[in-house]
Amino acid sequence: MFTDINLFPLFLSLKVATTATVCTIIIGIPLAYYLSRTKSRFGDFLDTFLTLPIVLPPTVLGYYLLVLLGRQSTIGRFLEEQFGIMIVFTPTGAVIAATVVALPFMIKSAKAAFTDLNKDVIYAAQTLGRSDFMVFWTIIIPLAWPGILAGVTLAFARALGDFGATLMVAGSIPNETMTMPIAIYDALLAGNRSLANTLVFIMTCVSLIILYAINRLEKQMVKGRA
């Protein structure tokens, strides 16, 4: 059934989603921790700004990214002229688009986990002379890990299924930037319903397997901490 199916979009989608999820962890956890502690107006503005990708249409996000990173933009022109790096219509653009749409889900989950921590445990560690760096990595992160892992799951799922922003920034170049959602859209656009059905089936199965595995891992980690 699958011998004649080009699975490049599936592999690219998994690669883009995995890379984007790693990016959301690196960027999102520090931001979530800062937002969980600050009470400033700047913090409120930053939280609102970072939540925008949840409510804005993906095509609007893609348009903003094109304006910001396109070849005619200041950043895009600088990267191309100085380093020969192009963002739009490349897999890198797909990763950036997926990261932008997935980041709020990581931040929201991690922020909630940080906010719900027992502050007495943190104060006790600080009283015993632990540095803020050690308290963060040895106490705060382990205690907040279930919430962080939930954010990882949501971020991966959102990055894997992104369509609008990725299409705007990376395009639909076969065997280069065409992710699975875009391949499904192109198959429908071409009137190839059989191919579209097959791709949808593959995407659904892979997504269920990955999310099930992540959920099982989360339960095992919570059980191990109990």
In a domain, 150, yes or no: yes
In a domain, 213, yes or no: yes
Domain of 146: which CATH number?
Answer: 1.10.3720.10
Residues 6+ apart with CB under 8 A from 188: 196
Quote the number of domains for the chain: 1
The predicted pLDDT at position 143 comes to 85
In a domain, 3, yes or no: no
In a domain, 116, yes or no: yes
The predicted pLDDT at position 209 comes to 87
In a domain, 81, yes or no: yes
pTM over 0.95: no
Structural domain for 212, as ranges: 8-225
- pLDDT above 70 covers what percent of the chain? 95
In a domain, 105, yes or no: yes
In a domain, 1, yes or no: no
In a domain, 140, yes or no: yes
pLDDT digits (tens, 9 = 90+) for 176-190: 999 999 999 999 999
Average pLDDT, the chain: 88
